[in-house]
Structure 1
Amino acid sequence: MKYYSTHRQSPEVSFKTAVLTGLAPDKGLYFPEKIPVMEKSFFEKLPALSLPEIGYHFLKPYVDGDLSDEALKKSMEAVFSFDTPLAEVAENQYALELFHGPTLAFKDVGARTLARFMALFSGQDKTTILVATSGDTGSAVAQGFLGIPHVDVVVLYPKNKVSRLQEKQFTTLGQNITALEVEGTFDDCQRMVKTAFAHDELNRKMRLSSANSINIARLLPQAIYYFYAYGKVARQNKPVVISVPTGNLGNLNAGLLAKRAGLPVKQFIAAGNRNNVFQQYLETGVLKTRASVPTISNAMDVGNPSNFVRIQELYGHSYEDARQAIVPFHFTDDETRQAIATVYRKTSYMLDPHGAVAWLGLSEYMKQHPDDCGIFLETAHPAKFYTVVEKEIGVKVPLPERLSVRLNHKKRSIPVKNDPQELIDFLMEHKK
């Protein structure tokens, strides 16, 4: 399998090169030359397959030539030390719980996979991982790479725009993890990272790579849990629709890749908050990026989604084809809060703000399609947003031990201005 740049100004590369470099030399994102369709026998066995087994079968053609079957199998078994169960919330409505990993967020799947692939590929050469986070990416990547030899991680996050628990998860680790607290938004953090990747002198002095979903090894593994979820409801013989909380578009992109690989999902729902630039694209055919605004579903506060170009590639830059596959909705903070309260009052199920947005999108869609089987993604444990959730449901959210233990550790971060040169200077000085 070869990977090409979405800018089409760089040579095609192997999976290994795409993983180690993260961003193509022409600053495009890497995309596979083809999307292999899974065989009929795979779908016949799907309800009985484990997450590691699905991961092996799905990723095998993408890593062909760079990872042995044994290495891929061992990687998948190591990644999926936890389940991603379906919880029935209401009739024909299921939550795909993606928060049972080490950092209680869906990004554990991609980050743990990337960490293992990076360790296998980098050898003895020092690699510095740059990652911008709007919340959960930072902790997932930091935990995934913590203590891995020859890899340093630098996490950039927007000051006062991630929850206290999210911040504690990646600013208290030390070792090979450094946190930079940026005076700006997530989009500013992402811009600073991209500028560093484009800096010739910096790239001559050190090997830089990305752990955001711009790295293809972060994106591809997320398709695995879509197959897994479908397998759990396949025997109902109902059309399946999936609602995805939408921000930087990596999670949605992975689901659409799964659909292109043969997953028989009837419809994907892109559920967003006030930062609804992608929803506006699906309604108008024009992507108008803008500065993001803060919301209670902060991981979705993205005004210039990086993975938009990959969705364009997937649909041949056809806005009409994308609109056929994806139904958009967006919701306010007040609607999100109301959803948290309503679902808990009716079912005793606790939603986090991102899962609440996804539930709202699914609920809106199912008003017109009540006989479909609906799945919405619960991407983070509600305890990570306990101040919001507890206010709406009126009870205390149980705090898992692996979250509470970090609260007692001292935050260690370095304040930086909203200026790409500050990141470049830091890397030049401190990462020699």
Structure 2
Amino acid sequence: MKLYSTNNKSLKISFKEAVFNSFPTDKGLYMPVKIPQISEEFLQNITKCSLQEIALEAASSLIGEDIPKQDLKNIVEDAINFEVPLVSLYDQLGVLELFHGPSLAFKDFGARFMSRIMSYLSNSKDKTLDILVATSGDTGGAVALGFLGVKGTRVTILYPKGKVSEIQKQQLTTNGQNIRALEVEGTFDDCQAMVKEAFNDAELNSRFRLTSANSINIARLIPQTFYYIYAYAQAKRNNKNNIVFVVPSGNFGNIGAGLLAYKMGLPVKHFIAATNVNDTVPQYLKKGLYTPKPSIQTLSNAMDVGNPSNWVRIMDLFDNNIENIRKTISAYSYTDEDTLIGINELYEKYKYIACPHTAVAYLAAKNHFNPLNYTIFLSTAHPCKFIDVYPKNLKDKIEIPEQVKQLEKKKSLAHSLKNNFSDFKDFLLSN
């Protein structure tokens, strides 16, 4: 697999280089030179395939030239070893549950697959791989668990102080070993900016072997295509057609993976990006002007992103043509008040308890509903991660998984960090 930078299509690098460098020096993002197509035969027989079989087929078509199929099979079966059920709420509406992995969030797909890919591609003689990651909530926990104890790696996670839930914070800060957590006095965008600046700092790059575990890394994007294809397979098993995906969106890596699957030939009728009041993309699709802005804290904190990094990938998939994008993608934004209404409505109508991000996706699904389509909205996190959001009648009904109960017994190991790059750089150099 060869990749180019979205800022320089003449650049051609290998998959291994893209995984370990993660962020081109020209500040673009890596994209495949050629997008392989899902075979018609595979699509015709897809209802018979398991998640792991679908994941192997997708991974092989994208990176089969770089990793032998049997090795890829081992990676897939080790990384993607949990269920991804499509739960039907009624005939034309379903919810895809992506929170059954170790960190209880959809980020487990990317983090677990990427950690194993990096371990596979690393040479034992290489320097320690320093993985930098900014998180608005769920990414950090998934990366921490995905890389915990992986030899030859050291993970530094930056998260915004007071802007992640208590369970998310525990998942980020209680691991120790090769996982370090930095609590930043700022927003997710500030954390993300510091990580990006580190990749462009000559001294840091001479001292360390830096890479990213954020969704800017191509190894995070690839495994997220798996569950879109698997959701399609589950829908087809139930004779559903005209599939529409509704994706809660913050940094736009999740919907970006769905659109990559679409460009690979997955028969999807439409995509809907559902955001909170951090509505840079909905405003762009409405007005035609892309205007990033400071992020605003909301109940759906993993989507509190004012300048989504992965939007450039989506623009690239559609040749930077807004009219082409509008044909395939719609976008809606909702307030916290709307989100709480969505949570209550899902329970009252369907006895379904959703996290705030999932509720935002439900509202967009409802807003765009067409009885001729089968609409699937993505549930990205277990509701227990946002327990303080719910009224008492719902809070009492949320089952707390055992791994969360164990977190409460652990001590936080986070370091405090001011919102400036020089302090972050000093931390890296002195630790």
State the SS of the aligned residue for 2:12. Answer: coil
Residue 52 in structure 1 maps to residue 52 in structure 2: yes
State the SS of the aligned residue for 2:151. Answer: coil
1:147 to partner: Cα distance: 0.1
Amino acid of the structure 2 residue aligned with 1:410: K
Looking at structure 1, the residues matched to 306 and 393 of structure 2 have their Cα atoms a distance apart, in angstroms, of 27
State the SS of the aligned residue for 2:406. Answer: helix
1:9 to partner: Cα distance: 7.8
Over residues 214-248 of structure 1, what are the superposed CA-to-partner deviations in whole Å (9 max), with x where a residue is unaligned?
00000111011000001111142421111000110
Find the counterpart in structure 2 of residue 400 from structure 1. 401
1:26 to partner: Cα distance: 2.0
Over residues 43-84 of structure 1, what are the superposed CA-to-partner deviations in whole Å (9 max), with x where a residue is unaligned?
012111112211111121322332111111100101111011
- Mark the CA change 1:327 to 1:392 in structure 2 (over 3 Å): closer, same or farther: farther
Find the counterpart in structure 1 of residue 223 from structure 2. 221
Find the counterpart in structure 2 of residue 310 from structure 1. 313
Taking the TM superposition and a 5 Å limit, the aligned residue runs for 1:10-159 are: 11-124=11-124, 125=126, 126-159=128-161
List, as ranges, runs of 4+ consecutive aligned residues in structure 1 with deviation greater than 6 Å. Answer: none
Taking the TM superposition and a 5 Å limit, the aligned residue runs for 1:319-358 are: 319-358=322-361
1:187 to partner: Cα distance: 0.2
State the SS of the aligned residue for 1:424. Answer: helix
Looking at structure 2, the residues matched to 174 and 23 of structure 1 have their Cα atoms a distance apart, in angstroms, of 26
State the SS of the aligned residue for 1:295. Answer: coil
Please say if residues 416 and 422 of structure 1, whose CA atoms lie closer than 8 Å, have aligned partners that are also in contact: yes
Looking at structure 2, the residues matched to 318 and 114 of structure 1 have their Cα atoms a distance apart, in angstroms, of 31
Looking at structure 2, the residues matched to 32 and 394 of structure 1 have their Cα atoms a distance apart, in angstroms, of 44
Aligned pair count? 428
Find the counterpart in structure 1 of residue 375 from structure 2. 374
Please say if residues 10 and 26 of structure 1, whose CA atoms lie closer than 8 Å, have aligned partners that are also in contact: no
Looking at structure 1, the residues matched to 262 and 9 of structure 2 have their Cα atoms a distance apart, in angstroms, of 28
1:11 to partner: Cα distance: 3.2
Looking at structure 1, the residues matched to 45 and 213 of structure 2 have their Cα atoms a distance apart, in angstroms, of 32
Taking the TM superposition and a 5 Å limit, the aligned residue runs for 1:193-342 are: 193-235=195-237, 236-342=239-345
Normalization by structure 2: what TM-score? 0.97
Please say if residues 129 and 154 of structure 2, whose CA atoms lie closer than 8 Å, have aligned partners that are also in contact: yes
Normalization by structure 1: what TM-score? 0.97
Question: What runs of 5+ residues in structure 2 fail to find an aligned partner?
Answer: none
> Identity of counterpart residues, as a percentage?
48
State the SS of the aligned residue for 2:377. Answer: strand
- Mark the CA change 1:390 to 1:102 in structure 2 (over 3 Å): closer, same or farther: farther
Question: What runs of 5+ residues in structure 1 fail to find an aligned partner?
Answer: none
State the SS of the aligned residue for 1:362. Answer: helix
Amino acid of the structure 1 residue aligned with 2:402: E
Find the counterpart in structure 2 of residue 383 from structure 1. 384
Please say if residues 23 and 199 of structure 2, whose CA atoms lie closer than 8 Å, have aligned partners that are also in contact: yes
Amino acid of the structure 1 residue aligned with 2:64: D
Please say if residues 99 and 379 of structure 1, whose CA atoms lie closer than 8 Å, have aligned partners that are also in contact: yes
State the SS of the aligned residue for 2:396. Answer: coil
Find the counterpart in structure 2 of residue 192 from structure 1. 194
Looking at structure 2, the residues matched to 394 and 424 of structure 1 have their Cα atoms a distance apart, in angstroms, of 41
State the SS of the aligned residue for 1:181. Answer: strand
Find the counterpart in structure 2 of residue 422 from structure 1. 423
Please say if residues 350 and 382 of structure 1, whose CA atoms lie closer than 8 Å, have aligned partners that are also in contact: yes
State the SS of the aligned residue for 1:61. Answer: helix
Instruction: Name the stretch that deviates more: 320-329 or 382-391.
Output: 382-391
